[in-house]
Amino acid sequence: MMADETTLADLARAVGAARTIAVLTGSGLSAASGVPTFRDAQTGLWAHYRPEELANPEAFERDPTTVWQWYRARRQTLAEIVANDGHRALADLANELPDVRLITQNVDGLHQQAGHSNVIEFHGNIRVNQCHNEGREVEVDDAVDTPPACPHCGGLVRPGVVWFGEAIDPQAIERATQAAQACDVFLSVGTSAEVHPAAGLADLARRNGAHIAEINPDATPLSDRVTWIVRDSAARVLPELRRLSHNQHA
């Protein structure tokens, strides 16, 4: 395996030369902004819950207030959190290169905050509210202790995120699949590559001839199928990758 700096220079050449790049990001990218990764241990009031126990429709239907208050706590944490250099570097790359398609598993909205447009939000967005009955987005005052009532049908309102066991927006799947099939380079950034269908996108790209890069301090189930492994923080690597690939164009 090449040392990271050689790997990064080689990856930058491929990024600079690529017609289409697909990027899949996970919670590791937001870690540098202070957002706990999905599999970090929960803290405080929520320490004795695992996310999987709360982020599902059955938990919400059984105990709407507890699930609602967990998301309110996460939204309050996010209120002070800002996008980091990794988010900004991806937004800059998308502006500088011919075709960069970003798929995120994150629900924190930090890519958009960094100026990235056209984000494919595979698991929804925690800042959005939706009616649990109808599935449609609703405008409600969400700084309350219990789930508000849907203004249309009176049903319970919940965050606009995709819960375990729920279907992902077919449009998001379609756009993400097209990105994986069309790309020459696939960047897997800050994700444990464990949760499908998102975790299958890299292999779909590889089957269509793309080369994969994994930017993650830790190994994942994808690690043995990638061309470039950069074992470092995404917030550090992505700005350097942008600088090096930028030089390809200069």
Per CB under 6 A, residues contacting ligand APR are 26-28, 31-32, 37-39, 105, 123, 190-192, 194-195, 215-218, 220, 233-235
Using CA atoms, how far residue 87 sits from 90, 91, 92, 116, in Å, is 5, 6, 9, 8
Q: Which is nearer to ligand APR, 148 or 217 (CB)?
A: 217
> What is the nearest approach in angstroms of ligand APR to the Cβ of residue 107?
7
Using CA atoms, how far residue 43 sits from 36, 38, 51, 74, 77, in Å, is 10, 12, 11, 11, 12
> What is the nearest approach in angstroms of ligand APR to the Cβ of residue 145?
25
Catalytic residue check, 152: no
Contact 184, 14 (CB under 8 A): yes
Contact 9, 168 (CB under 8 A): no
Which residue in the shown chain puts its C-beta closest to ligand APR?
A: 28
Catalytic entry in 87, 123, 132, 246: 123
Q: Which is nearer to ligand APR, 100 or 215 (CB)?
A: 215
Q: Which is nearer to ligand APR, 157 or 199 (CB)?
A: 199
> What is the nearest approach in angstroms of ligand APR to the Cβ of residue 42?
12
In b/e form, how buried is each residue of 200-213, taking b as 16+ CB within 10 angstroms? ebbebbbeeebbbb
Using CA atoms, how far residue 238 sits from 92, 168, 202, 249, in Å, is 10, 28, 18, 17
> What is the nearest approach in angstroms of ligand APR to the Cβ of residue 206?
18
Q: Which is nearer to ligand APR, 94 or 235 (CB)?
A: 235
Q: Which is nearer to ligand APR, 125 or 150 (CB)?
A: 125
> What is the nearest approach in angstroms of ligand APR to the Cβ of residue 247?
23
CA dist 203 and 78 (Å) reads: 32
Q: Which helix (H) or strand (E) holds 161?
A: strand 157-161
CA dist 98 and 207 (Å) reads: 22
60: tokens are 């919400």
The residues carrying an active-site annotation are 123
